[in-house]
Structure 1
Amino acid sequence: MDENPEFIATQIPIHLIGDCLTVGDIRNLCCIHRIPYSGKLNKEENLKRFEHHYCSNCESYYTIFKRDDRDKVKKEKAKVRSAIYRQQTKGRHQNNNTIHQEKSRKKKNKEKKSRKNKTSKHPAIPSVFPPRPASENLIHRIISGFCNDTDPSKFQEAGCAVCGQLTLLTKLKSLTEVKISYEPLINPLARKKEKQSLNDTDDDNELRSPILDPDCSHICEPCLGPLKKGKRPLKSLANFLWIGKVPQALQDLTYAEKMLIARVRHNRCLVRVSSGRAKMVANAIMFTNPTIKVYKTLPPSRQELSEVLAIVFTGPANPTQEEFKRTPMFVRRNKVAEALEWLKLNHSDYASLNISKDNLDTYEEEGIPVVVDYKRSDINEGNKIPSAMSKHDMEEEEGTEDGPCPFTVHGLTGPEYAKMSMQTLKLKALQHLENRGKTLKVGHDETQQSMYDNPQIYPQMFPWLFPYGLGGLTQAVHKKKLSDAEHKKLLLMYHDKRFQTDLYFPIIAFNHEQLKAGTTGSFLLARRRNFDSVASQLQKVNRSVLADLAKRMSEGEHVKPETEDEKLCFLFWIIWIM
């Protein structure tokens, strides 16, 4: 051992080095020293048998120690620690969130302590006023930050050719860069080809090609993912969301012309046109219609239109033909005829429409189709409503001096004015707008249309937005996949912005959501076992009495049923509660 300094031989009692021995080592030592080994005893109890033991082998055997190599030992310990850590973290992948939260909590506490230490070491310096001029470095940082935040790449948008949605350019990829199959986008039933005459037929080859918007050259990430897997994206145009490009015949229509070509009339509208000394402006308040009506013949005759369209013009002087052209009430006969003829050829809901040539011939080529009532206003009043002005508003007039006057739709009222006649609405409008206003109402027939589960209700109300009658809401293929609210969001984000810039589509769509929410919340629910009795009692209930009782009870009155109708109402409530 003297020749090799790495090893040291010595005699040490076995029970003193027991911590370094394994159970197998102790068993072998017991065999060498002829000490009985018991498997029923633990390690410590077997080692105690060596404390008072002595034999000839105790002097013949030595304990040899090897020199400790610190570097190697450290490496070995590091290996052991890493192995232990891997073993401990082997099953922790399910608790990654907890580990991440714990780490972030510790990090926040550490940062909080460091901030406290900094504030304690560096007391707050009192602010100096006026502040010092900004340094060149600070100015450079401010300008650079502004340039980065206003860089066109941060806000420029383009349409996706697959879904037609406006998307940031940074989240789009060019179609030429993407190598995928567009076969899932083939759906001949989801689109139509424009017809110029009755003899035109659909081109099968064109309809069997993938549905991509020709005005877009990019694809968004939500559409790219499913296409890579060979699936059709939910929001793709091929998924019966194609609406087509707006033709020239349906572009640049005035407000009155749009109302005259729509098959479904969903509301009534009061339009206020105010003319000052130089400027003109128009505003509208919409009134919800109790029932949605549908036309069978368009346009109505001039005599019929005179019964449902009333126009009141206010200003310091009689309106001229040039002023009429600037208003949203101006109607061009040829434009209306062209729009109706195009819709009859291409719109799915206009195929059965009767276009009356006789009625069209009764209209002037350009002008207001009915008699205009004029009310003179003081030239010094301007065209503003004092109650609607801010104290900081110093302008005497609003609007434009030439070109189409601004036209704004302000909102929808409740059912308060829904059943008023045209004359009553006109009087109300004149009274509300300080005897200066303009009203419009378009007639209808008695056929009703429902806004529930009716995919064609919006294409009939807005044919200038849905020119082919396709892409309507509440389609059967979208049930439980695409809600009405989500579908309306898609329409508002369509790349040509036709739905955003329309005068009243956003407000009508929002109003319908409110009506549906209110109706859904007021449905009568009954248990199945009580349904027959509830239904029979409900048919016998006097609705006027029920409404009167509800009003009296809502006002806090203690109501005791006296008449038979009142008792029947209370009986119905009891059955409903049970």
Structure 2
Amino acid sequence: MNETEEQASCDDDSMGDLTQNGNATKKKKCSISPPWPEAISRGLKETRLQQFLQQMSMSALAETTCSVCNVRTAVNKSKKIPVSKILNAHLLEVSDELKDLIISNQSSTAQNSSDINIHTAEHDQSSSPLNSPYFYCKNRIILYANGLSQQNRVSMCTVCQKRYDSLSKKHIPKFSPANNMWLGDVPTELQGLTIAEEKLISLYRHNSCVIKLHSPFHSTTTAQSALRGNCITFLQNIPNIVNSLPLRLDDLCETLKVIFVGARPPERIQLKKILTVRKKKLYKHYIG
């Protein structure tokens, strides 16, 4: 073996030693580093399960109604405060025009229903509140009744976080009556209408509408996640609608569709309660 061959042999031995050392180092690192992914400890599992149960409990999912905007909101995302301690309460005062309109509407509603006691406009100008099953009006401040309660003989109101933040920043809440966002009480004639009856008399129509029907016993066969989307309405041409009534069966089928979701379709009596049209009710209140 000449000198060149001896040198090459030494180089090969050196490379072999380096490779072996490298492999040994990798094996050593692999033996030291923990496996991935790491096994979840029992303590962590129990902690996460407890957090899940807490966040899915009835108390965590409970909802309430905001007395300022009449919107349903989570209890844990709202504040309950005395009515007398509402921040910047003057921002909730409605205009005289809206106040007079509310009193006028309530007076006309009282003529059709003996269950509602209405104060006169003169009485309303005093410090006494305007009585209604739907709202509370005092000193030109309107709060929705569903968001009011009594606690130790103190009148309390629930305010959602967004409206509370608006009042804290001295802004008029976006969806409050003070911002002219007032729809008023549902007239007696419009209460208890079915879906089909609403579509017949509505001044606006849906381009498409999805309505979820579920079992009164909350059967698992009909359980579905909530549906949420945008709603767009179009102004109706009333004279044309009157001339086209009653609708032909084919036209009605194009307007109103029913889709069944579940193990079996609902019984006819169930659909009758939802889709029936009471001609006498419509004639009495809207045509007669």
TM-score (norm 2): 0.48
Who wins on radius of gyration, i.e. which is larger? 1
Q: Which has the higher contact order (CA 8 A, sep 6+)?
A: 2
Question: Normalising by the residue count of structure 1, what TM-score does the alignment of the two structures yield?
Answer: 0.27
